[in-house]
Amino acid sequence: MSALHVLLVDDSPTAALFLQAKLDSAAQGITELAVQRASSGEEALQLAEKTGFDLAILDVVLPGVDGFHVCKQLKQQRSTCQVALLTGLQTDADKQQGVDAGCDAYIIKPIDDLRLSQLVKLAYIRAQTVNHS
Amino acid sequence: MSTASPHSSELLQAFTAELEQLLTQCADLLQQTWCQENARSLFRIFHNIKGTAQLLEFAEIAQAAQLAETLARSEEANCETELKRIHHYLSDALESLHNNTGQKKAYVSSRAEQLINHINRKQALQNSEQLALFSLVGKQLTLLCQADRKQQYLSLNKLSQASKIMDIENMEAWLNELEHQIDTQTINTEKLVANLVLHPRFGQAFQQHIAQESV
């Protein structure tokens, strides 16, 4: 099985660094990861045009287009991509926006290791299913 | 120590550098004339600071940033002073991170507490003043139909004064409509209530309090 292609979108370099380290840790024993990072929605969508991502973890509040928009676009381009919105926005209206955007998970920061591990596993299983079909 | 630990030096360095950059952007925005676009940019900046401070377990920084985020999200011009105060505190916190001295950290923590208490007290006061207005509106609307013209003008005056003191925006048109109804003795409380609940910020609060007063 080739590496799981992961897209991390966060305009905070510190948060992206932290999240990548956590992801690497969560994926140990499950699969290799090929992680690409974007610091804006536009950059994320450009990367997604070239790479078929299996898992995308998106911040919502981004400069330019927000994470909701990116989520919608990613799901339209590749419905098998697991998209998780990782955000500090907690209102019901925000969560509804996430659901309307088609996200597979709406996670309030900070994400815990178990949840991250579950995301990686689900994406891995889905990617295996797609590859074998 | 792995990068996944909130206390790893690599993360601390990244956070310090990022905080410095964000606070510089913040300072530039706070020097400009207040506008919605700047308020939205400030919201994004403080939202970012909050998120990364939470990751690295800087509780006071995260709390101050959350307050600022909420204030900026409201987009009100009168939040500017509080945002500048929070920016000043965060700049102190940044200096503390650079210097990494225990005493400075304690000083910054206690200042944060004072700052947050001050802002919370001010907001609580503002909230209770606004609640008083909603209650007053509810009561006066109930009395309007039964009162004589002189009493009705007194009610109008009370409501006008209260909305100015409590800094409730977008009330002028409603007050003008009320005055017109009193002038022409065509009091229509249903119409008045219907217009109030359309208030962009306090519509729901008005609806709730008016309903309570009519029970």
Per residue in A82-101, pLDDT (tens digit) is 999 988 777 888 888 999 99
Q: How confident is the model at residue B32 (pLDDT cuts 50, 70, 90)?
A: confident
Closest CA to A108 of A91, A88, A125: A88
pLDDT at A10: 93
- 10 Å CB burial of residue A91 (0-12, 13-18, 19+) is exposed
* A14/B56 touch (CB, cutoff 8 Å), yes or no: yes
Mean pLDDT of B53-68: 85
Task: Say whether pLDDT at B169 is over 80.
Answer: no
Residue A47's pLDDT is 96
CB contact under 8 A, A18 and B11: yes
**What residues in chain B have their Cβ under 8 A from chain A's Cβ atoms?**
2-4, 6, 10-11, 14-15, 17-18, 43-44, 47-48, 50-52, 54-56
Higher pLDDT residue, B109 or B50? B50
The ipTM of this complex is 0.71
pLDDT over 50 (residue B132): yes
Q: Is the pLDDT of residue B215 over 90?
A: no
pLDDT greater than 50 at residue B48: yes
pLDDT score of B54 more than 90? no
- Substitution target from B8, B12, B18, B42 for chain A, most A beta carbons within 10 A: B18
Q: How confident is the model at residue B75 (pLDDT cuts 50, 70, 90)?
A: confident
Residues across chain A: 133
Whether residue B46 has pLDDT greater than 70: yes
A8, A17, A114: best mutation site toward chain B, by most B Cβ within 10 Å? A17
Q: Would you call A55 helix, strand, or coil by DSSP?
A: strand
Amino acid A43: pLDDT:
95
Mean pLDDT of A68-74: 95
Highest mean pLDDT among B53-67, B86-100, B134-148: B53-67
How far B169 CA sits from the closest chain A CA (Å)?
A: 24
Residue pairs spanning A and B at CB distance below 8 A:
54
User: Comparing B97 with B100, which gets the higher pLDDT?
Assistant: B97
Q: Is the pLDDT of residue B164 over 60?
A: yes
Is the backbone of residue A66 left (phi > 0), alpha (psi -120 to 50) or beta?
beta
Asked if pLDDT for residue B166 goes beyond 80, the answer is no
B137 pLDDT higher than 90:
no
Higher pLDDT, B145 or B28: B28
From chain B, pick out residues whose CB is under 8 angstroms from the CB of A109. Answer: 51, 54-55
pLDDT greater than 50 at residue B1: no
Find chain B residues with C-beta within 8 A of A25's C-beta: 2, 4
Residue in chain B lying closest to A16 (CA): B52
The confidence score (pLDDT) of residue B67 equals 87
Q: What is the pTM of this model?
A: 0.62
Least confidently predicted of A118-127, B121-130, B131-140? B121-130
**Phi/psi of residue A39, each to 5°?**
-110, 5
Q: Which amino acid is it at A128?
A: Q
Minimum-distance CB partner of B18 among A14, A22, A61: A14
% of chain B exceeding 90 in pLDDT: 6
* pLDDT: which is higher, B187 or B213: B187
Question: Helix, strand, or coil here: A81?
Answer: coil
Minimal Cα–Cα distance from B67 to chain A, Å? 13
CA distance B79 to B81: 6
Tens digit of pLDDT for each residue in A30-49? 889 999 999 999 999 999 99
Mean pLDDT for B110-126 is 63
Partners of B50 on chain A (C-beta within 8 Å) are: 88
Record: contact A13-B18, CB cut-off 8 A:
yes
Give the least confident one: A52-61, A98-107, B56-65, B154-163: B154-163
